[in-house]
Amino acid sequence: MRKKMAGITLLELMIVVVIVALLAALSYPNYREYVTRAKRNEAMAALLKLATSQEKFYLQNQTFTDDLALLGFASDLTDSETYRLTVGGNPDLANDFSARATYQYDDGEKGKCEWFQIGGNGNKDSFPSTDCWTRQR
């Protein structure tokens, strides 16, 4: 009569570990890119909300403000604390504003989309590439 096997062998365990490691190695870069795009989208959404709040403030006060608290922002950071928001007047036009979201860390993402900017006239800009508003990579 044969004995029944109880448990698993070391070889079987190592095969499972290798498979899990391969799956993790393949999925982690995609996950990082997804998180990066989400943080970029969060910064763009915050800028659009800020621009809308500036327009609302202008309708009520006939001027723009550089105080984020008056625009309904509790902090100058986005929810993920990845981008810092700043707002100020546009020196070229007295009745205009400029809002910017600047990346806070020194890593690979900073070289891709260091900051986003939107003006009172709706013009959007970004650095170092001007297509950060539309790019999905």
Q: List, for residues 6-34, the tens digit of each pLDDT value.
A: 778 899 999 999 999 999 999 998 898 88
Determine, yes or no, domain membership for 136. Answer: no
85 contacts: CB under 8 Å, gap ≥ 6: 46, 47, 50, 68, 73, 76, 77, 78, 99, 100, 101
Determine, yes or no, domain membership for 89. Answer: yes
Q: What is the pLDDT along the chain (137 residues), one digit of tens a residue?
A: 567 767 788 999 999 999 999 999 999 988 988 888 888 889 889 999 999 999 999 899 888 888 889 998 888 888 888 899 998 876 555 678 889 999 988 877 777 888 889 988 888 888 887 777 776 54
Q: How far is CA 2 from CA 7, 9, 10, 12, 58, in A?
A: 16, 17, 21, 21, 86
pTM: predicted TM-score of the whole model, two decimal places: 0.76
Determine, yes or no, domain membership for 1. Answer: no
d(CA 127, CA 112): 8
Tokens 């009172």 appear where? Answer: 120
Determine, yes or no, domain membership for 134. Answer: no
Determine, yes or no, domain membership for 92. Answer: yes
Tokens 């909300």 appear where? Answer: 49
Determine, yes or no, domain membership for 43. Answer: yes
The DSSP output letter for 66 is: -
Q: Residue 120: which of 101, 98, 100, 102 has the closest Cα? A: 98
Domain count, the chain: 1
Give residue 83's domain range.
12-128
Determine, yes or no, domain membership for 118. Answer: yes
CB 82 within 8 A of CB 41: no
Determine, yes or no, domain membership for 137. Answer: no
